[in-house]
Amino acid sequence: MKKRVLSSAQIIPIGFLLLIAVGTGLLSLPFATADGTRAPLLTALFTSTTSVCVTGLVVVDTFSYWSVFGKIVILALIQVGGLGIVAVSSMLFMLLKRSFSIRDRAMLRDSFDLDSLHGVLPFLRKVILGVLAVEALGMILFAFAFIPRYGFFRGLWYSLFHSISAFCNAGLDLIGPDSFQPFHDSAYILIVTMFLIVFGGLGYIVWFDVSTTAKESVRRRFGVRWFFRRLGEHTKLVLLTSAILIVSGAVVTLLLEMHNPATLGGLPWGQKILNATFQSVTYRTAGFASIPQGALSDGSVLLGCVWMFIGGSPMGTAGGIKTVTLAVLLLSALSYVRGRADTVVFRRSIPYDLVKKAAAILFFSLFLSLLSSVLLVAVDGVPLSDAVYEVFSATGTVGLSRGLTPQLSVFGRILIILCMYLGRIGPISLALFFHTDLSGGKNIRYAQGRYYVG
Q: How many residues would you count in the chain?
A: 454
CA angle, 415 then 242 then 356, to 5°: 65
In a 13 Å sphere around the CA of 286, the CA atoms on its Cβ side amount to 30
Name the residue among 10, 47, 53 with its Cα closest to residue 25.
47
Q: Average pLDDT, whole number, for the chain? A: 88
Four-point Cα dihedral 91, 93, 97, 100, nearest 10: -100
Would you say residue 245 has pLDDT above 60?
yes
Question: How many helices (DSSP H) and strands (DSSP E) are in the chain?
Answer: 19, 2
Average pLDDT over residues 221-233: 84
The amino acid present at 156, given as its one-letter code, is L
Q: SS3 string of 223-262? A: CHHHHHHHCCHHHHHHHHHHHHHHHHHHHHHHHHHCCCCC
3-class secondary-structure state, position 293: helix
Name the residue among 427, 368, 400, 433 with its Cα closest to residue 50.
400
CA distances from 300 to 121, 203, 258, 276, 323 (A): 43, 27, 11, 11, 20
361: number of Cβ within 10 Å:
20
How much is the pLDDT for 10? 73
Quick one: pLDDT band at residue 1, thresholds 50, 70, 90? very low
Question: How would you class 147 by CB atoms within 10 Å of its CB: exposed for 0-12, middle for 13-18, buried for 19 or more?
Answer: middle
Q: What's phi and psi for 9, nearest 5 deg?
A: -65, -20
Would you say residue 424 has pLDDT above 90?
no
348-349/344-345 β-pairing: antiparallel
Contact between 60 and 43 under an 8 Å Cβ cutoff? The reply is: yes
Would you say residue 440 has pLDDT above 90?
no
CA angle, 193 then 46 then 66, to 5°: 65
All structural domains of the chain with their residue ranges: 8-432
CA 355 – CA 369 distance, rounded (Å): 21
CA distances from 197 to 1, 58, 242, 246, 403 (A): 49, 19, 12, 12, 22
The amino acid present at 302, given as its one-letter code, is L
Contact between 230 and 213 under an 8 Å Cβ cutoff? The reply is: yes
CA 9 – CA 425 distance, rounded (Å): 10
**31-88 pLDDT, tens digit each:** 999 999 999 999 999 999 999 999 999 999 999 999 999 999 999 999 988 887 667 7
Report the sign of the C-alpha dihedral through residues 288, 390, 241, 269, in that order: negative
Eight-state DSSP code of residue 32: G
**311-352 pLDDT, tens digit each:** 998 888 888 999 999 999 999 999 989 988 888 888 889 998
Element spanning 437, H or E: none
Would you say residue 191 has pLDDT above 70?
yes
- DSSP assignment of 369-407: HHHHHHHHHHHH---HHHHHHHHHHHHTT----SS-GGG
Average pLDDT over residues 382-398: 95
CA 349 – CA 127 distance, rounded (Å): 28
Q: Which residues contact 346 (CB under 8 A, 6 or more apart)?
A: 233, 236, 237
How much is the pLDDT for 4? 58
Whole-prediction pTM = 0.90
Within 282-436, strands assigned E span 344-345, 348-349
How much is the pLDDT for 384? 94
The percentage of the chain sitting over the pLDDT mark of 70, rounded to a whole number, equals 89
How much is the pLDDT for 453? 75
Eight-state DSSP code of residue 345: E
Contact between 117 and 106 under an 8 Å Cβ cutoff? The reply is: yes
Burial 313-352 (b: 16+ CB within 10 A, else e): bbbbbbbbbbbbbbbbbebbeebeeeeeeebebeeeebee
Comparing 277 with 114, the larger pLDDT belongs to: 277
